[in-house]
Chain A
Amino acid sequence: MLLEQMTKIIGQSIRRVEDPRFLRGEGRYVGDIRVPGMLEAVVLRSPHAHARVRGIRTARAEALPGVVAVLTGEALAREGMVETARLAGARLPIIAPETVHYVGQPVAVVVAESRYAAEDGAEEVEVDYAPLPVVASIDAALAPNAPGVQEDAPSNIAVQKVVGYGDVEAAFREADVVVEEEFRIARAAAHALETRGILAVPDPATGGLTVWIGTQMPHAIRRALSLFLDLPERAVRVIAPDVGGAFGSKTANYPEDFLIPYLARHLNRPVRWLEDRREHFVSTLQGRQQVHRVRLAARRDGTLLAVDNAFWMDMGAYASWPHLLDRTITTLPGPYHLPHYRCAAHGVLTHKMPVGPYRGAGRPQGNFIMERMVDRLAEAIGIDPAEVRRRNFIGQKEMPYTTPLGVTYDSGDYPEALEKTLEVAGYKRWRDEQAKARSEGRYIGIGLSSYIEDTGGAGPYEAASARLEPDGSVTIYSGAPSSGQSHETTFAQVAAERLGLPVERVRVVATDTATISLGVGTFGSRSAGIATGAVWDACGKLEARMKEVAAAMLEAAPEDLELVEGTVRVKGVPARAVTFEQLGQAGNAVSLNPLPLGAPLLPPGVLPGVEGTAYMRTRAQYANGAHISVVEVDPGTGQVKLLAYAVAHDCGTLLNPSVVTGQVQGGVAHGVSTVLLEELRYDEAGQLLNGTYMDYLLPTASDLPDIVVEHLEHPSPFTPTGAKGAGEGGTIPALACVANAIEDALRPLGVRIRELPVTPDRLWTLIREAGGDPQRAATGGRAR
């Protein structure tokens, strides 16, 4: 089927199928699931960032009423349970038996009849620590004679690579303009509304387990547990019920993912662990923290020649997600012709919670560096930052465009995205407003940022099954669960479009490994392109089966049939048709007699079963777009107020515009807060100083302006519907966009933004160091 023919259901902003239950508080999360005889676990965590565990006394805890078991790393090691299975990242100790390497690392686990009893028990476990030297920052890790973070690692640089092309040195020699800078981006984390949680229930029938877990990848958890517990996959059933946000933080490989299933088997009782918010701050993957030293070379007219960048990422105590470095490297060149490029990446170990994928997973930082430097170039040559971007964009006629790094940008019109944002934001009007404000001594700034986002490039494939039900509806089974991405709505739209069925007649199940044999999961903005591609193809296979069965019922040839409005009919002959319901009853017959009376029977000559399963493998699709933000800075207090935010966003074919708008707006919030609010502050001893929402600041609706989103649609040639991922495009350019705006606002004072987040205190200090606000130094009058 050609794209032009699909116009009815795909692209409609239909209401989210999942909303009614969420709005009524009827979502069902791991914390809502209880089974008889269930025990509750509390993980005792290290208060030290680096220490040897000399001994653990558990007797007092074990003696408390309600406490069932206390397990230490030593006891686990005796059972051979030492490290997590290797899947996506590096293996992590489940419970460190000898040495702890970050505050929050599991040291023991207490299992009890209730959470209260387990908490009481955890308070009675006595651990004897011998503190060891702590390395709590990139600078400390790289210092001469720095202590080693990991005893067995030769260096605190765990990963190192240099990627590039062209002749960077020659380009810098020939350049008219060179700008250079050092940038620091703080550590932040995803902070899903629902913390992590897992419930493992022994299943005597299979000799294995059923596991409910808030995860982005149930099939991967199944594989990991099968390897870890030495069970066949059929004996491990993993269910991701409703998941309250993930943003990368609920991918596989947490110690608790293995510990709790192990305990359930060891005790032969259901065991549940629910992470609390204080634990979440120290035991769920964090992200973002990088230091960059970058040089950019260009011609006088703004033509980019080269970027030479070196960066260091704080990986935490285990470099479990080295691919974060790659995403920074590959995202940096962005939507521009960049003839020469060199990027040296270093993954640095520190005694902190490891970093992992967090919305953007390395991409926002790469984009941040490039877009900050393009602005610096514009300033250096005195050309409008929009114009500098125009002069360097890869054009639409060049698509598909393979970059010198070897990645292929499949489709898109980058100049159009920028022009659209300029128009929607009212760029000219804001520049006038800015000039007027400056004449009044007020500081308004406008920030631009263009970006590309590789979507769907991670993970080998996705799977889907489509089944025609006896009532004529269709059920879609997918391996990609939703943690807020609206899969129940958008997958249904794709299936309904493909099968010519009203969208209400499609239901989506993407939660349970027992319902579909293979699956990969939801991460890296892969669902819109790949998971719905699998849905599309599964529906194609279902259509073929429907035609086979209908052909027998109608005594026609399958190739003469068509699917129209819930019927299968002979082409052009509406009278010769069977409804989906008739087909569903016949094709799924369970009796030789009509059931209910009069229902169609399985016709002779065909086999039952009206379903299809498909797997989608394809290449990464590149979404793109441009952001504009407008800020006003109060030079007296250093406070930044966002006045406006506009986005042009192109993720190919829109499956559901309002869902995409929501994704983009939420993504912008995550990005803006990296600039203005969020920073996990650790002291030199590796202690997290702001481990509550009183002190760690997330953005709320009242901190954000209306985020205007304009959609562009350049379909991907790599997916059946033309859709590309939309999960991270809101976040990636927002960091540079807002930082550019702040610097633009304070350009008359020459303030340089080098460090995120830009807190009021830091910005006030920068303003003061730049000589302060001359007009206002003596008065209390504020910028309004």
Chain B
Amino acid sequence: MKPPRFDYYAPRSLDEAVELLGRYGQDAKILAGGQSLVPLLNMRLVSPKVLIDLNRVRDLAYLRREDGVVAIGSMTRQVEVEEAEWLRQSCPLLMEAVGLIGHPAIRNRGTVGGSIAHADPAAELPAVLSALGGAVRVRGAGGVREIAAGEFFLTYLTTAVHPDELVSEIRLPVLPDGSGWAFEEVARRHGDFAIVGVAAHLTLDRGRIGKAGLAITGVGGTPVRVGTSEAMLRGAEPTAEVFRAASGKVKEAIDPDSDLHATAQYRRHLAGLLTLRALERAAARAGKGGSARTRQGG
């Protein structure tokens, strides 16, 4: 379990990293927190000619609130999100999801940008990005490009980032007052990639659902955003019947595969069940005053 030979670069700045990437492009792999890449290297499942290690690039590690948006530098460790108390108000769905990623040791090293760029359809952060309809900023030789969440994930472990670009920032919209949220998942063990996970948020406005977002992990090549469900929720009253119908739409919309951990049938069932549970919990939170005033629950 020893990696094959590679050249190693440790740039100190984003500009330097982009320059290296421009030089090596397809031959290079970017090392962020290393939680996925290092095992792949050690098992010789990938053999890049060049490794560009971003861990010394300070200008990619930040967390800040801009106008209506939470902006996260791609090299921000997951633990830093977990410990940023202000995010409980600005982006509680992210906070709930980040606690479900692996274990503390993994979150200490794992980065937000790494998880987004790796694009594992079972991972939590891509689903949060997708459900919230956020965006990803990428940097290349040609400058900055912003890619909407809906266009970012192409298929398994594949994104719209070009070989000479790297993910520099994740942008998540701040939900309006009266919003509720929930991340539900079923994992075999605490800390595992979930078999299926559901990221959900909805906003209540005078007894009716306003904005709503739903993204499902583990049921396709990317986090699956279910537009038909969201459309059904918008403008409806937050009743059990509506949530059941929305979860039924989820089951219709997805086409999961069977794998080692679960059959397609079970995944489809879980997607429906967890959608229901997530919507119930999100609605309860929204009803209690929403994101602005509620502390994170279960």
Contact = CB atoms under 8 A, between A and B. Distances in A.
Interface of A: 115-116, 119-120, 123, 276-278, 636-639, 677, 681, 689-690, 692, 694-695, 697, 699-700, 702-703, 759-761, 764-765, 778-782
Contacts of B232: none
A275 to B, nearest CB: 9
B38 interface: no
A311 B261 CA distance: 27
Question: Which of B190, B261, B265 gathers the greatest number of chain A CB atoms within 10 Å?
Answer: B261
B190 A760 contact: no
25 contacts: A116-B5, A119-B4, A123-B4, A278-B1, A637-B270, A638-B266, A690-B260, A692-B43, A694-B193, A697-B189, A699-B189, A700-B191, A702-B189, A702-B190, A703-B190, A760-B186, A760-B262, A761-B262, A764-B269, A765-B263, A765-B265, A779-B240, A780-B244, A780-B247, A780-B273
Nearest to A274: B1
Interface string B257-298: 000111101100110010011011000000000000000000
A697 B260 contact: no
B195 interface: yes
Given A677-B189, A697-B192, A760-B186, A278 B43 contact: yes
B188 interface: yes
A124 to B, nearest CB: 12
B266 A764 contact: yes
Nearest to A636: B273
Contacts of A765: 263, 265-266
Contact of A637 (B4, B39, B186, B260): B186
B2 A119 contact: yes
A255 B132 CA distance: 55
Contact of A760 (B1, B188, B265): B188
Nearest to B277: A780
B285 to A, nearest CB: 15
Contacts of B39: 692
A116 B188 contact: no
Contacts of B276: 779-780
A702 B191 contact: yes
Given A120-B4, A637-B273, A760-B195, A780 B188 contact: no
B193 A639 contact: no
Contacts of A764: 266, 269
Given A278-B43, A637-B273, A689-B260, A759 B240 contact: no
Interface string B1-21: 110110000000000000000
B44 interface: yes
B181 interface: no
User: What are the 4 tightest A-B residue pairs by CB atom distance, in nearest-first order?
Assistant: A780-B276, A276-B1, A702-B190, A761-B266
Contacts of A703: 189-190
Contact of B44 (A115, A119, A677, A759): A119
A689 B258 CA distance: 13
A376 to B, nearest CB: 27
A759 B243 CA distance: 28
Contacts of B191: 700, 702
Contacts of B195: 760-761
A431 B228 CA distance: 46
Contact residues of A: prevailing secondary structure: loop
Contacts of A694: 193
Interface in B105-134: none
Given A778-B244, A780-B276, A782-B277, A700 B262 contact: no
Contacts of A639: 186
B260 A695 contact: yes
Contacts, number: 72
Contacts of B190: 700, 702-703
Contacts of A119: 2, 4, 44
Contacts of B277: 780, 782
A115 B3 CA distance: 10
Nearest to A757: B188
Nearest to B192: A697
Interface of B: 1-2, 4-5, 39, 43-44, 186, 188-193, 195, 240, 243-244, 247, 260-263, 265-266, 269-270, 273, 276-277, 279-280
Nearest to B278: A780
A760 B261 CA distance: 9
Given A277-B1, A278-B1, A697 B186 contact: no
Nearest to A698: B189
Contacts of A690: 260
A766 to B, nearest CB: 12
A639 B279 CA distance: 20
Nearest to A776: B273
Nearest to B298: A784
Given A116-B2, A119-B2, A637-B273, A761 B263 contact: yes
Contacts of B265: 765
Contacts of B244: 778, 780
Contacts of A700: 189-191
Nearest to B263: A761
Nearest to A114: B2
Given A119-B4, A120-B4, A764-B269, 4 more contacts: A116-B5, A700-B189, A765-B265, A780-B247
A602 B4 CA distance: 64
Contacts of A637: 186, 270, 273
Contacts of A636: 273
A695 B240 CA distance: 36
B2 A115 contact: yes
Nearest to A122: B44
Nearest to B43: A278
Contacts of A120: 4-5
A146 to B, nearest CB: 26
A265 B262 CA distance: 50
Contacts of B280: 780-781
Contacts of B5: 116, 120
Contacts of B273: 636-637, 780
A699 B188 CA distance: 10
A286 to B, nearest CB: 17
A321 B232 CA distance: 62
A690 B260 CA distance: 8
A123 B189 CA distance: 35
Contacts of B266: 638, 760-761, 764-765
A780 B243 CA distance: 9
B136 to A, nearest CB: 25
A764 B193 CA distance: 19
A689 B259 CA distance: 10
Question: Which of B43, B188, B276, B277 gathers the greatest number of chain A CB atoms within 10 Å?
Answer: B188
A681 B258 CA distance: 14
A643 to B, nearest CB: 15
B289 to A, nearest CB: 22
A277 B270 CA distance: 32
B260 A681 contact: yes
Contacts of B247: 780
Nearest to A637: B186
B2 A677 contact: no
A628 to B, nearest CB: 23
Given A689-B260, A764-B269, A779-B240, A697 B188 contact: yes
A501 to B, nearest CB: 43
A638 B267 CA distance: 12
A257 B189 CA distance: 35
B217 to A, nearest CB: 15
A621 B212 CA distance: 66
A700 B260 CA distance: 20
A697 B190 CA distance: 11
A779 B272 CA distance: 11
Nearest to B270: A637
Contacts of B2: 115-116, 119
Nearest to B267: A761
Nearest to A690: B260
B245 to A, nearest CB: 12
A60 to B, nearest CB: 15
